[in-house]
Structure formats: structure tokens, C-alpha cells
Amino acid sequence: MPRISPFTLLKFACVLAVAVFVAVLPQIFDSRLDPGSAEFRVGQFTLVGIWFVALLGLNVLTGFNGQISLGHGAFVGLGAYVTALLSLGRPGLELYMLDPPSWLPIGDGMRPVFTIPIAALVTGIIGFLFGFPALRLGGVSLALATLAVAVSFPILMKRFDEVTGGGGGVNLNLPTTPFGWDISTRHWLYYEAWITAGIVLVLAWLLVRGRVGRAFRAIRDGEIAAVSSGVNSALYKTLAFGVSSAFAGAAGALLAIEVAYVNPDTFPVGLSILLLASAVIGGLGSLAGAAFGALLYVFLPIYSQNPPIVSWDFSNQAPAVVFGAVLIAIMLLLPGGVAGGFRRLTGLVRLGLARRRADRSELA
Amino acid sequence: MKKVLLAVVALGAALTVSLPGAFARLEAPKARQADPGVTSRSITIGGTFPFSGPVSSYAPIARGMETYFRFVNARRGPDGKRGVYGRQIIFKTYDDGYNPARTVQLTQQLVLQDKVFAIYGSLGTEPNLAIRPYLNQRKIPQLQIATGASYWGAQHKAFPWTMGWQTDYIAEGRVYGKWILQNRPRARIAIFYQNDDYGKDYLRGVKQGLGSRASSMIASELSYEVTDTSYASQIARQRASGADTWILLTTAGTPTVRALGTGRAVGYRPEQIVINSVAATDQVMAAAARTTGQEYVNGVVSTGYLKNNTNPKYKNDPAIRSFRRIMGKYGPEGGVDIRNTFYYYGVANASEFVRLLYKAGKNPTRASLMAAARNRNWVNPYTLTGMRTLTRKGDAFPLDQGKILRYNNGSFTEISPLYKGR
């Protein structure tokens, strides 16, 4: 049996421990808080799971493949709209007096949970197609092109208001536990998000540790060198776009189910920018970094916005400022983000241990 | 090494086996409780507002509301007690940046964590659309929301816990239509509207107000997107249509100023410009005048349902004087620009809500608050003289009247009788 380093085992144990913690977190809240607060906290952590999925996608594209995307929020939005349309179905849309063209394969309304893979697939294909023109761009130009996607997304959704409900958007049906399972709706949404996150995490992990991941990183670190080593840069770059948008689409689907309302203002340009900032602060090039980024994205605005009874200062505007300040601090002090910080820490520990082992073997 | 691996696998197996137990739902016994948010000393309410983001210019509305509640908490009411029947009003406001996904989260926070008695004054059509099903499902009042969309009144039967307040956009549009029929019956009309629910509601109202003559009178009907940066092509076409009456159905701020500026630039000089009430505020008109010159915007017509606190006619009006006193004494630190009508709106709206709280009784419940909201028949002193606040079965629009106002050199004067929008 090959020698597995104790650190790899430790990493797996940590992941397992976190998974268990995530699984029992709703129960912990239920037992320690009053029903209202417990429900609220579970809801917050459901959102953490949703943005974790989105950031995993962004990390694959920008962290592992080096393609800057300022348009990730648009793909999240696309997934959300796909879920909205499919779960409402044509009859549901008619109640909004919407009249999508007959060639669109919108059925009669399906269970929201089944729309998640469909949304991921549709968004993934569109992202993959976007990857082709993106091949000609790099660096700042690509960032601008993706920014254009983010800017135009809300406008497109308003333009095709016969399908999307325009500015007013559409309300999805309030979520319910499917299949008559005996679990509260709040818990169901939580597990739906985190099981999806688990699946996406495993997929992302398999991707980055395999040939594809190596190709991604090779392209990121030196495209010309990678191409001269025989890496099909065009294929892998478009693949990265496809995979990352698919993950974003899944996150969007979960968001639509959770919030039960989609409209263009839900996915403004700011979302894409904040997502990139969260990915950077969490740690690009690290799957765990996506988790830190998601925690930051959900909790930072809340804790920097001191809920006021009477307030006439800037506290209501604090989130954006604090986000920016944290981003600058991270860029200066910990360029690898929070995950990078942890890696450095374990690196130091390993170095210390290795030194001790070397000293001991010298003495022996 | 194998031992360690074995131990990890065993641990994992043990946890996997115990996990299904973790899925058992904890059933909390449902005790009969009083409505949340009400104690013997306080009533907690909450709302979401765009303190940041593209429409943060509406933030003074929340400040006006906060100021009025501070006043109520400090003064002695008709029963001699401070607050409402001795209960202090705690008003929690959160910034949703006009993003409905954030509105949903923050409203859930208000409901589940802050345990508010009611959602009050939340601003924005889309944000309120996002939270409406959730609040109605849980039977939580969603009252006096700061949006003129017609949804709230029109769909009150489907969503009985939701009610607006101000004269809605369709009603306002009808007022314009009626006034034009009476005062400019041979007008050729060009309408420039924002391409969303806001603009389309107004448009619908104008056409209903014009009735059967709408199609013959409207020479041009063009729209713009909120994100457009230039209206040159549309406005040039409207000028080419030869319309002598130009109706702008634009949001406050940049869109209105840009439309007027573009009109001036392409040489469009209609006899009469009509601007919807949300946009026709002193600030916006002053900003427009800086671009187009005062002469271009003089004569602009709009509607109002509130007394304008800068109108010299109301200098000694008791409502205006109390507004100035309240803002001066309880307003935000550092003072505010009292001419900003959004503060006045906030105070007017909050005064209505306090009246509803009184009407809900000495021991208010959510149900009694909604019952009060659905049976109003009184005069709100901050609204125009002659306006009646009226709701009853079949009428979920508290305010539905308006007067035509004309703008001239920095102030608005009322030039018409009160029209019924509904």
C-alpha cells in the first residue's frame, strides 16, 4: 500500500470533520436557539452553501486556470432564471401574463430540485460557448469582456420581458419539502444546498487533481510553455469557462429556489465584482478558499452594517467600504487569501517537524 | 500507518451510521403566543431601504420615518403617555441596496431574528414583490410600503396582509389624462416612459385617463431602459412627431434631468411638459434647470397628493409647521435639507402608521393592525386639503386622488381641483 503522508490524512480528516459539522449544524441551532433565530441561522448557512458553489466555479476559472472573470454573477443569474422558468412552467408564467415563445422547451412546471442539474447544464453550455471568443482575449481585455457580460445581463433580462417578467421579475412558488419527506422546509433547503455543494466540491476536486487540472494550471502559469508542451490550450480554456459557468448555474438555481424571486436587479454588476473579491480574499487556487469566500460574502455585509434603531451616519453604507478595505488588506498581507494563509501555516509546521526529524536522524 | 488509516475509516463509518439520526426533525411544541414584536413597553417594526446603490437618493424617506417615530416616542400622546399607548416604537432599518435577494434575506432577519410585529415602509416595487408571498404566508403585515405600484391594491385579495399607501401610478396617470382632456382637448401627445413596471403603470394610467381618445391623441410613445445612457434618438423622434404635449414618465434623478436636457439640446419645445410626481421634485427640477435653463422647465406640470413644504401657500399650515418642528428637533444630527420632499413623505407616511397603531387597539395584534388598515376613513393632515384616506372592502388603495401642480421658478403651485384617480 503506498505511503500516505500523515498530512494528507489530516486534510481528509479535516474535510470529513467539516462535512459532519455541516450535516449537524441545523440540529445544533435548533437545540440552542429559539425557533425563529434557529431558522434564520440555518437560512444564513444555506446561503453560505449556495455561494460556496458559485465560488468553486469562479475558483476553477480564475484560480486554477488564470482567466479573470468579472461576469460570474451573470451566469449565476442565468441559472436562477432557468430554474424560475422551469419550476413555474408555462401555466405558472401565464399567471404573470407572460408569453414565452413556443419553441422554448419550458414544460408545465417541474419540481425545483430537478431544475438544478438542468440549470447547470444550460449555463455550462452557454459558458462554454462564451469561452470561444474569450480565447482571443487575455488579462485586462478578458476582464472587460466578462464585465460586459455582467453589465448586459440585467438589460437582456429586461429586454426579453415576455419570457422573464422584465423588471418586475417573477415569484417562484414558495419552497416546500418534496416527495412528502418528513423534514422541515428550512432544513430541506439547507441540505439541498449543501449536498449540491458536496457534489460540486467532489467534481471540482477530481477535476483539479487530474490531467485537466494540471493542464489548467499549466495554462495559468505559462500559456506559451504549456502549448509548447502539447497542452491544447483552446480546449482547456473553453472547458474551464464551461465548468465554471455550470457551477455558477447550479448556484443560481439554488438561489432562485431559496429566495423564491428572480429579477434583473438581483444580479447586478456589483454581484460579479463582489464574487471575485470574495474568491480572492478566500484564496484563489484553493477549493477551501471558496468556502472562506462564501462565509465572508454572507457575513461581512451583515456584521459591518450595524443594525441601527436610530442611525444617520454611514453605517448603512459600511459593507462596501469594509469589503474594499479587507480586500486591500488581504492583497497586501496575504496574497494567497485566507486559504493561502492556512497553507503557509501548515507549511511552517511541516518545516518545523521536518527539521526536528532531520535533527533526530542526525543524532541517531 | 495502516492503523491510522483503519482508525480514520472506522471513525468515518461510525459517523455515517449516526448521521441518519441527525436527520430526525426536532418537533418544537407550538405554544399559543402573543404576536411577536409587542411587549408592554415597546412595539418593534422594521423595513428595508436602499441606503446604498443606484437609488440611494430615496434614503431620506427612511430618515423621515425614523424622525417621526423619535418624535412619537418623546412626546406625550392624547392619552398622556409617550409612544403609542405607552409603548415605544422601535424601528429597525436595513440596507438592501435595492437588490431583492438582499431584501428577502434582510426581511427574514427582521421577522425571524428581530421578531418584528410588522414590516413597515419597505421601499421599492421589486423588493416588496420579492417578500410579499413570504410575509403573506406567515400572516405578517406589510404596510405603508414606499412604492406607488398598483400591485398592492389591485392584488390585495390574493395578498391580504399587504397594503400600500400613496396614490398609485395608475391613478396618477389617470389624473394626467383627465386634466389633459379638460384643459388641452386638442393636444398631440408624446409620451416618454421608463421601460419597466414603474413606467408602464403610469402609461397605462394615462391612457385610461384619456379614455377613448387615447389612440387619437397620442402621437408618439417611446421608452428607455434604466441603464441607457442616451435618449437622443427617442427624443429626436418625439420632436419629429410634432407633439405639443410631452409626458415624461421617468424616475427621479438622472433619467429626468437627462430627458429634459436632451429635449432642450435637440430643440424640442413642446407647449406643455408633464412630469410624473416621483420625478417632479424641487431637487430634480433645480438640477434640470441647471442643464436646460430655468425657462425650459418653467411651466412643467405634475401631480401631488402631499402638501409641498416649500410652497409659500402652506407657510402657516399646521401640518407643515409641525413637520418643520419635528425635523428640527428630532431630525438626523447635523440637520437636513428640509426642502427635500422625501423627508416630508417619510413623516407623512409614519404619521399614518402611528394612527393605524392607535386604531389597532391597546393590545394590538397583527390581525387587529390589518383590520385597522382595511377600514380607514379619515384625513391625513399632511395630504392635500380635501383628500380623504379611505379603505374598505373592495378598496385597498388608501390614497387615490391628486391635484395638478405647476412648477415655476423653484416652487409648485396647485392649479387644479382634486381629481379622483380611482
pLDDT digits (tens, 9 = 90+) for B53-88: 778 888 999 999 999 999 999 999 999 999 999 999
Distance CA B388, CA B167 (A): 11
For chain A, give every domain's residue range. 6-363
Contact list, A308 vs chain B (CB under 8 Å): 92-93
Instruction: Find the residue in A nearest to B131 (Cα).
Output: A261
Are B297 and B337 contained in the same domain? no
Average pLDDT, chain B: 89
Distance CA A254, CA A305 (A): 26
pLDDT digits (tens, 9 = 90+) for A294-352: 999 998 877 766 543 334 444 556 677 777 888 899 889 888 889 988 888 888 888 88
Checking B239-244 for CB contacts under 8 A at 24+ apart, the result is: B239/B263, B239/B266, B239/B267, B239/B268, B241/B188, B241/B190, B242/B188, B243/B187, B243/B188, B243/B189, B243/B190, B243/B219, B243/B270, B244/B187, B244/B188, B244/B270, B244/B271, B244/B272
**Position B47 pLDDT exceeds 80:** yes
Q: What was the pLDDT predicted at B5?
A: 54
CB B180 within 8 A of CB B158: no
Question: How many A-B residue pairs are in contact by the CB < 8 A criterion?
Answer: 145
For residue B40 the three cell numbers come to 408592554
Are B184 and B287 contained in the same domain? yes
Give the three-class secondary structure for B142: strand
DSSP A183: S
Contact with chain B for residue A30, Cβ under 8 A: yes
Are B74 and B174 contained in the same domain? no
**Position B272 pLDDT exceeds 90:** yes
Q: How far is CA A161 from the centre of its chain?
A: 27
A203: Cβ–Cβ under 8 A, 6 or more apart, which residues? none
Contact with chain B for residue A47, Cβ under 8 A: yes
CA dihedral B106, B112, B113, B115 (to 10 degrees): 110
Are B323 and B345 contained in the same domain? yes
Contact with chain B for residue A175, Cβ under 8 A: no
Say yes or no for a CB contact (<8 Å) between A316 and B100. Answer: no
Distance CA B67, CA B343 (A): 9
Residue B193 pairs with which residues in a beta bridge?
Answer: B223, B249
Contact list, B50 vs chain A (CB under 8 Å): none
Are B415 and B283 contained in the same domain? yes
Are B250 and B285 contained in the same domain? yes
In chain A, which residues have pLDDT < 70?
A: 1-2, 304-318, 364
Which pTM was predicted? 0.85
Q: Crossing angle for the helix pair B232-240 and B254-265, nearest 10 degrees?
A: 50
Q: Is B20 left (phi over 0), alpha (psi -120 to 50) or beta?
A: alpha
**Position B157 pLDDT exceeds 90:** yes
For residue A324 the three cell numbers come to 474594499
Contact with chain B for residue A332, Cβ under 8 A: no
B337: Cβ–Cβ under 8 A, 6 or more apart, which residues? none
Q: Looking at domain A6-363, does it have CATH number 2.160.20?
A: no
Are B352 and B414 contained in the same domain? no
pLDDT digits (tens, 9 = 90+) for B326-341: 999 999 888 888 888 8
B342: Cβ–Cβ under 8 A, 6 or more apart, which residues? B57, B58, B59, B60, B61, B64, B281
Q: What was the pLDDT predicted at A2?
A: 65
Are B207 and B223 contained in the same domain? yes
Are B273 and B256 contained in the same domain? yes
Q: How far apart are the first and last CA of chain A?
A: 27
Which of A30, A37, A265 has the CB atom closest to B126's CB atom? A265
Give the three-class secondary structure for B119: strand
Q: How confident is the model at residue B169 (pLDDT cuts 50, 70, 90)?
A: very high
Tell me how many domains chain B contains.
Answer: 2
Asked if the structure places residue B9 within a domain, the reply is no
Which of B92, B98, B113 has the CB atom closest to A265's CB atom? B98
A144: Cβ–Cβ under 8 A, 6 or more apart, which residues? A70
One-letter amino acid for residue B375 of the chain: N
Which of A6, A263, A316 has the CB atom closest to B51's CB atom? A316
Say yes or no for a CB contact (<8 Å) between B198 and A184. Answer: no
Asked if the structure places residue B15 within a domain, the reply is no
Q: Crossing angle for the helix pair A35-58 and A233-259, nearest 10 degrees?
A: 160
Are B108 and B87 contained in the same domain? yes
Q: What was the pLDDT predicted at A173?
A: 86
Say yes or no for a CB contact (<8 Å) between B113 and A37. Answer: yes
**Position B19 pLDDT exceeds 50:** no
Q: What was the pLDDT predicted at B28?
A: 41
DSSP B212: G
For residue B18 the three cell numbers come to 449516526
Say yes or no for a CB contact (<8 Å) between B113 and A260. Answer: no
Are B159 and B183 contained in the same domain? no
Say yes or no for a CB contact (<8 Å) between B52 and A182. Answer: no
CB B343 within 8 A of CB B64: yes
Q: What was the pLDDT predicted at B299?
A: 93
Asked if the structure places residue B82 within a domain, the reply is yes
Distance CA A149, CA B54 (A): 19
Contact with chain B for residue A360, Cβ under 8 A: no
CB contacts under 8 A, A 196-235 vs B, are none
Which of B94, B98, B101 has the CB atom closest to A259's CB atom? B101
Smallest CA–CA distance, residue B199 to chain A, in Å, is 11
Q: B353 lies in which domain range?
A: 42-167+315-391
Contact with chain B for residue A266, Cβ under 8 A: yes
Residue appearing with cell numbers 430554474: A83
Are B326 and B299 contained in the same domain? no
Which of B2, B8, B93 has the CB atom closest to A1's CB atom? B2
Q: Provide the CATH number for the domain around residue B67.
A: 3.40.50.2300
Say yes or no for a CB contact (<8 Å) between A24 and B8. Answer: no
Instruction: Find the residue in A nearest to B101 (Cα).
Output: A266
DSSP A178: G
Contact list, A156 vs chain B (CB under 8 Å): none
Angle at A48 between CA B8 and CA A36, to 5 degrees: 105
DSSP B81: -
Asked if the structure places residue B4 within a domain, the reply is no
Closest by alpha carbon to A82, among A107, A128, A118?
A: A118
Say yes or no for a CB contact (<8 Å) between A167 and B198. Answer: yes
Which of B26, B94, B100 has the CB atom closest to A307's CB atom? B94
Contact with chain B for residue A43, Cβ under 8 A: yes
- One DSSP character per residue, B351-372 reads HHHHHHHHHT-SS--HHHHHHH
**Position B2 pLDDT exceeds 60:** no
